[in-house]
Structure 1
Amino acid sequence: MHSNISFPELFLTSMAEILPTELNMEDFIAACQRPLRKSVRVNTLKISVEKFVERAQTKGWALEPVPWCNTGFWIDADESEVPLGNTAEHMAGLFYIQEASSMMPVSALFTEKDAPYLSVLDTAAAPGSKTTQIAALMKNDGILVANEFSASRVKVLHANIERCGIRNTALTNFDGRVFGGWLPEQFDAVLLDAPCSGEGTIRKDPDSLKNWSKESIQSIADTQKELIESAFQALKVGGVLVYSTCTLSREENQDVCWHLKNIFGDAVSFESLESLFPEANKALTEEGFLHIFPQVYDCEGFFVARIRKNASVDTPAVKKRLGKFPFEKANAKTFSDVNQELQKCLGISLPEHSSIWLRDNDVWLFPDALEPMLGELRFSRMGIKIAETHKKGYRWQHQVATTLATGYEDNCVELSIEDAREWYMGRDVRPQGQSGQGEVIVRYGNDVIGLGKWVGNRVKNGLPRELVRDKNLF
């Protein structure tokens, strides 16, 4: 219990003013003082929900479906010896530890009415829970631009994208307010999970209200209004914007959406989320938004709005000086050569709707849907690096295995549990009674966990530094 949580008196007063009549403050306070139920989302780029449920049963994990996300589950697991984050399944990217309510914005974005999308913008992406959820729903097709303003958090974002086997992303590191001017009407869908005061996160972070004040909320809301304008400008006509926060105040939620409507008029329409999941009406506002207090679904406090763009709007004029683009698109012959070598060495084929791009000795795979944006904005990382060239051909890279291999290729080596632990700690392994030559796909059980290189009877470790763990493994 977080019974020692202290609530600013003015915060409780402001909550009492906006709490729906069918709810009461006693339940609100009691819910805020209860620890959150742990929840996970299955990464369907790596495993089906059915297979994950079967595996969970063998491990003694009790699962309860999250009603608004068909790949989400509340989970009850014994973590006394191994935390969920250090399980083999998590490190292989089979699931993401994600708060249940934070799965809702992406579910609201991807309805049967609109998906699939060819181009999506995630405006505030780190640490990557929603980015990886979007990529799975896109089935690794199209282009997903994942932006994070905080440079220190981009590294974590990329590590999660890499762990989950995602290849259709392009990362950017900008203030989210730039996209309306730099990439106007470029995206089929935009998610703006806006930076906020975090009032809804108190069950996870008892200190979240430590510096709470009305003044700070108004300051944050001003930024959110600028962010939502830019996100809307970056959206194609006919496209969908989902605006979400993990806070409760009207100033940061309904008022921000109405600001957009007041600015752009009939170009903006609100779409009801009443049918998003059973009992969604319990949190439904008059506009059709979901304003979720923590006692309603026993989760974090959250807000979600779905907005349609009906017409073009004015966008800011910007002067672009991007410099020379450092990549060169490979011709058809080079693409064919790379594909043939990849098939020959690892039994892997390059995916459709992708292109090879070269930079010095590096070989990259970009989604074709990214190409129209390449001269319009500076990206910090695009697609996946698949190889480095050398005199005798190509030296394949980690993400070739984790994003393109199935684990059923002939050129695989399966590790014991002891060797798999060593692998995740960044060490070379010596699979008993095995040897080979060249690169090899590394597997633990049925899961591809990386790419190594045979040196006699030893497999040289190719795990990226950011994915290395040092203790308390499965």
Structure 2
Amino acid sequence: MRSILPQQLNMEDFIAACQRPLRKSLRVNTLKISVADFIERAKDKGWQLEPVPWCKTGFWIEADESVVPLGNTAEHMSGLFYIQEASSMMPVSALFAQNSQFTSVLDMAAAPGSKTTQIAAEMNNHGVLVANEFSASRVKVLHANVERCGVRNAALSNYDGRVFGGWLPEQFDAVLIDAPCSGEGTVRKDADAMKNWSKASVLSISDTQKDLIESAFHALKPGGVMVYSTCTLSIEENQQVCHHLKQVFADQVEFESLTDLFPHADKALTAEGFLHIFPQVYDCEGFFVARIRKLGSVDAPKVKKRLGKFPFEKASAKLQADIQSQLKAALDIDFPQDTSVWLRDKDVWLFPNALEPMLGEFRFSRMGIKIAETHKKGYRWQHQVATTLATGNEATAVVLSVDDAREWFMGRDVRPENVTGSGEVIVKLANDVIGLGKWVGNRIKNGLPRELVRDKNLF
């Protein structure tokens, strides 16, 4: 570390910074609430917020968590914010710098979902966001966070990121590769982060990173932009990986300077225009971010595809109109214009239209949102209809008391006082949509998915 510290920094400050606990930070989920409204909520709660300079929706937070941890607050469980380390907000900010608008984005190493949900918010749920995670167990966590935050334009996959260059060449306007790394930048959060560190493992991981960045480059459209990031500090896993890409693809690779990403970005800027962030510079985790432009087409690796039969069928215009009218009648909800209905057995799904060109080229584990199951009398609407499509102003919405909402998040049915109804109902806490239930007599049957049910110590 001493050998790679920039001249203006010193080892004593680096060690002192690594030994200080991290400041807690969060990112407002603008798919659910505006930053201005969230700031008002924070004031009411007595939370102290300080803006993160490189993310317009990010804040460091001071809050009394002695009674209820931030993760168990109603605001977190309703998807209004994501607890995210401040420096990890930077890659997505770099990807969307210069007010970039993208129709198709690949997040190559997506779990647990902080950057995926940040990208979805930047896209405002339009277009398509392919969120890939190599670890099957972590895909469940990724899906739960996507669901909690009201993301509807995502398609999830479970592959080694090295497959994308051959399977989906030149498909994406933008690619984020937050690469697996040796992770010493996270030592302030995890005291064990350095336990298995070795120079040999750094070199081994950098070989994998070089494969991943090549794959990401092939998956990128000519003219598209890629951000490569890690939570490590070694030059072998950062600058050298980017230079490897330049060596392989020469004039088709352009490094774009991040000097204007935020005030004082120059304190961490490398000669190439990358951000190499040591923990003492901005009092955050160690991090690396590079923004790379693909200037022209390159020949992608050839692969033999055996996909099998695609299990979904696109609904006819007539059937889609029928489903849409039934949803409007039942819950006062409309479909977004850039989506289409797809059917699989008795399940009804809503896919982003921008996903369609990829459906015959790649196998996804989950696409869009499941909106209904068919049964004899019509459609049984699903949780994500409420949390991704409802505004909270629907005629069918019922506001729960805080006590009832707590029961709801623990997976229990509720009996709201002085309210009755029939059929499916949108459930709210204050003005936040928290789920979908169904009237059974004088109680609302709980429709919360199992992975979102919490057991104790709630707001």
Query: Structure 2: which amino acid aligns with 1:255?
Result: Q
Match of 1:82 among 68, 71, 87: 68
DSSP 3-state at the match of 1:107: helix
State yes or no: 1:428 paired with 2:413.
Answer: yes
Task: Kindly report which structure 2 residues correspond to 1:386-465, keeping only aligned pairs within 5 A, or say none.
Answer: 386-465=371-450
Query: Structure 1: which amino acid aligns with 2:433?
Result: V
DSSP 3-state at the match of 1:451: strand
Match of 2:139 among 154, 168, 174: 154
Name the structure 1 match of 2:151.
166
DSSP 3-state at the match of 2:3: helix
Name the structure 1 match of 2:324.
339
Greater CA deviation, 431-440 or 134-143?
Answer: 431-440
State yes or no: 1:177 paired with 2:162.
Answer: yes
Name the structure 1 match of 2:315.
330
Match of 2:259 among 263, 269, 274: 274
Name the structure 2 match of 1:92.
78
DSSP 3-state at the match of 1:317: coil
- Following the alignment from structure 1 to structure 2, what is the Cα–Cα distance between the partners of residues 152 and 362? 24
TM-score normalised by structure 1 residue count: 0.97
DSSP 3-state at the match of 1:181: helix
Q: Deviations over 1:315-353 (max 9, x none)?
A: 110010100000000011111111101111100000011
Deviation, 1:313, is 1.1
- Following the alignment from structure 2 to structure 1, what is the Cα–Cα distance between the partners of residues 412 and 371? 22
- Following the alignment from structure 1 to structure 2, what is the Cα–Cα distance between the partners of residues 402 and 62? 28
Runs of 4+ in 1 over 6 A off after TM superposition: none
- Following the alignment from structure 1 to structure 2, what is the Cα–Cα distance between the partners of residues 119 and 152? 25
Query: Structure 1: which amino acid aligns with 2:334?
Result: S
Deviation, 1:444, is 0.3
- Following the alignment from structure 1 to structure 2, what is the Cα–Cα distance between the partners of residues 138 and 171? 16
Which 5+ residue runs of structure 2 have no aligned equivalent? Answer: none
- Following the alignment from structure 2 to structure 1, what is the Cα–Cα distance between the partners of residues 375 and 98? 46
DSSP 3-state at the match of 2:124: coil
DSSP 3-state at the match of 1:237: strand
Match of 1:64 among 50, 65, 68: 50
- Following the alignment from structure 2 to structure 1, what is the Cα–Cα distance between the partners of residues 150 and 276? 33
Name the structure 2 match of 1:214.
199
- Following the alignment from structure 2 to structure 1, what is the Cα–Cα distance between the partners of residues 259 and 87? 16
Match of 2:59 among 73, 78, 84: 73
Name the structure 2 match of 1:20.
6
- Following the alignment from structure 1 to structure 2, what is the Cα–Cα distance between the partners of residues 406 and 82? 27
Aligned length: 459
Name the structure 2 match of 1:290.
275
Query: Structure 1: which amino acid aligns with 2:278?
Result: F
DSSP 3-state at the match of 1:93: coil
- Following the alignment from structure 1 to structure 2, what is the Cα–Cα distance between the partners of residues 434 and 316? 61
DSSP 3-state at the match of 1:17: coil
- Following the alignment from structure 1 to structure 2, what is the Cα–Cα distance between the partners of residues 446 and 195? 39
- Following the alignment from structure 2 to structure 1, what is the Cα–Cα distance between the partners of residues 375 and 336? 23
- Following the alignment from structure 2 to structure 1, what is the Cα–Cα distance between the partners of residues 137 and 342? 27
Deviation, 1:111, is 1.7
Which 5+ residue runs of structure 1 have no aligned equivalent? Answer: 1-14
- Following the alignment from structure 2 to structure 1, what is the Cα–Cα distance between the partners of residues 390 and 289? 36
Match of 2:365 among 376, 380, 389: 380
- Following the alignment from structure 2 to structure 1, what is the Cα–Cα distance between the partners of residues 102 and 320? 26
DSSP 3-state at the match of 2:215: helix
DSSP 3-state at the match of 1:345: helix
- Following the alignment from structure 1 to structure 2, what is the Cα–Cα distance between the partners of residues 265 and 146? 28
- Following the alignment from structure 1 to structure 2, what is the Cα–Cα distance between the partners of residues 393 and 262? 59
Query: Structure 2: which amino acid aligns with 1:56?
Result: A
Match of 1:192 among 177, 182, 193: 177
- Following the alignment from structure 2 to structure 1, what is the Cα–Cα distance between the partners of residues 184 and 297? 34
Q: Deviations over 1:175-196 (max 9, x none)?
A: 0000000000000000000000
Name the structure 1 match of 2:93.
107
Deviation, 1:139, is 0.3
- Following the alignment from structure 1 to structure 2, what is the Cα–Cα distance between the partners of residues 442 and 334? 27
Query: Structure 2: which amino acid aligns with 1:69?
Result: C
- Following the alignment from structure 1 to structure 2, what is the Cα–Cα distance between the partners of residues 237 and 412? 46
DSSP 3-state at the match of 2:422: strand
User: Cα RMSD between the aligned structures?
Assistant: 0.5
Name the structure 2 match of 1:29.
15
Deviation, 1:434, is 1.4
Q: Deviations over 1:102-151 (max 9, x none)?
A: 000000000235x2100000000000000000000000000000000000
- Following the alignment from structure 2 to structure 1, what is the Cα–Cα distance between the partners of residues 243 and 427? 52
Name the structure 2 match of 1:10.
none
Q: Deviations over 1:203-245 (max 9, x none)?
A: 0000000011100000000000000000000000000000000
Work out the percentage of aligned pairs sharing the same amino acid. 78
Query: Structure 2: which amino acid aligns with 1:446?
Result: N
DSSP 3-state at the match of 1:251: helix
State yes or no: 1:48 paired with 2:34.
Answer: yes
- Following the alignment from structure 2 to structure 1, what is the Cα–Cα distance between the partners of residues 257 and 91? 13
